[in-house]
Amino acid sequence: MVNKLFAAYTSGDKDALYSVVANHAYTQQRNQEVAEQVQQLKEAEQARAAEQLVEAQQAEQQRHRMVRS
């Protein structure tokens, strides 16, 4: 990134400089979006795991009740 920025700046090519900056801004924004999606997926996975644990505990409790009766 720095090398491209320096090359575009020293060449005096304003279009190239704009392109480097715009690409960097887009990449940063996209990286943030992906990080947020990953976080949402992790949270959803944790919620599913918690639900499965509760279901397993309830099934175990019901099995114990059936064994006792």
Q: Which residue has the higher pLDDT, 57 or 1?
A: 57
| Confidence at residue 32, expressed as pLDDT on a 0 to 100 scale | 99
User: Which helix or strand (DSSP H or E) is residue 56 part of?
Assistant: helix 14-68
* Domain coordinates in residue numbering, the chain: 2-68
Mean pLDDT (whole number) for 16-25: 95
Q: Which residue has the higher pLDDT, 8 or 36?
A: 36
| Confidence at residue 8, expressed as pLDDT on a 0 to 100 scale | 86
| Confidence at residue 27, expressed as pLDDT on a 0 to 100 scale | 98
- pLDDT of 62 > 80? The answer is yes
Q: Give dist(CA 36, CA 30) in Å, integer.
A: 10
Mean pLDDT (whole number) for 28-40: 99
